[in-house]
Structure 1
Amino acid sequence: MINFTEEQLMIRDVTRRMASERIAPRAAEIDETDEFPWDIVELYKQNGTLKLVLPDEYGGVGADTTTLCLVMEEIARVSASCSCIVFSTEALIHILVRSATSEQKDRFFPRLSQGDKISAFVLTEPEAGSDANAMRTNAVLEGDYYILNGRKCFISNAIVSDFYLVFARVKTLDKKKGISAFVVEKDTPGLSMGKKENKMGLRGNTMADLIFENARVPKENIVGGEGEGWKILAQVANQMRLYGASAMGLGIAQGALDYAVEYAKQRYQFGKPIASLQGIQ
């Protein structure tokens, strides 16, 4: 059994209250309209939700994986779509904390410390996802820039992000050894948006394709160096499965159970709440 720290419990309780009082009343409308909830981003800014992983000196709290799991679970309990905003943003910060140089941290973290920046984790391609080694997006170093070409798909936060953590293969290296990670900013020349997915769930989250056509990325934006992308995926990004799909799935399940229990208490048949009937119990 995990013994949570006082700080973790405080963050969980603040997030639970924020989710119940502010996000839950908006959830149905977000789902129906499929519009990105900028008001929720402002709410996250007020509560520091998008910068939890940042070190203390940059305005965060240095949140660990357990803390992120608690936050993701509480938000997903009322809106899986709104939890995706946090997930991808904190994932980029988490990877930079673990893998970026001091110069990169000093360059990116002050901007992320404002608490209103959104990020995307950019790995999946039409023919590569879980099989990351099959990716075709490539990068070639030309002078002071890497030139990226390729297409990514099913990218959460794609249309609204300020920063993208993009995985591409450096052409001069072989297969797995060539996979590298790059921080790409939204106004990068050669970066454009493809089709926006019309989803059954997670509506309101802007999942779309990203297209790189000779996109020029400063060479100092490569994370960990050429060929370090696979190591980052295996040793750092794997933790995303915990505070991503796992914590979100738990939150969704808890939300469904909470809703069902409350309904069973309110729905009357045979003169009493159906919660009292053996078949429901």
Structure 2
Amino acid sequence: MTTSNVLQVSSLSKTFEKPQGKVHVLADLNFQVEPGEFITIIGPSGCGKSTLLKIIAGLDVHYQGSVTLGHAKIDKPGRRQGFIFQEHRLFPWLTVEKNIAADLSLKDPEVRAKVDALISTVRLQGFENAYPRELSGGMSQRVAIARALLRNPEILLLDEPFGALDAFTRNHLQNVLLDIWQQNKTTMILVTHDIDESIYLANRVLIMDAKPGRISRIVPVDLPYPRKRSSSGFQAIRQKVMQEFEQVEHMRRVER
């Protein structure tokens, strides 16, 4: 396998300076993500999941350790990394197609063709000229995903993108995201609090502990797609993840 866009996180630590002293947010994280993998990260609030994503995105460069994509250190935002926030952050004065194009001109035939293709990919045909106020939360997130994909990122980082949505819409968008991943082979890392979502989507689930944030377990999900949450294989992995969480919590109590 090519190493041109392998994500390598090595000895990553992060400290915030607070008036009351230093707060250790991340401590000695080490993991690798292969090209085309789908990784999910779960863990308790405050364990540094979002901070980790921002570092990989180049939005936070004040850390100790090394984060590389291919052979290049990540030290600033760039087109190689796409980022999807929990809030869609669309421009309210632009239509769907113009939000996807953003700073690129729809008069460019190549951009026009890519935007049209992405609108089809995220299942928004017929809403090209709609404004964000006319869209549901799920539709708005699909626009945000299409906008990130237009830049052809090597890795797409998603920070709880479906957290504020109802269960039906959330399940629908999980399937849309899987379709996009399988079509584009884009490496994806998604942060979530939802254990079922993490197993449904991922090749591997990274479980984080808090104070300071660290990777406690990595659980492989060796299930074929499409997956059924009711299947015995799915439930077996869910039970394993829950057991890992219980072990993490037990160790936290012992260490206190």
**The TM-score by the shorter chain falls in which range?**
under 0.3
Larger CA Rg, structure 1 vs 2: 1
Higher helix share: 1
Higher strand share: 2
Given the two structures, how large is their TM-score scaled by the length of structure 2? 0.26
Given the two structures, how large is their TM-score scaled by the length of structure 1? 0.25
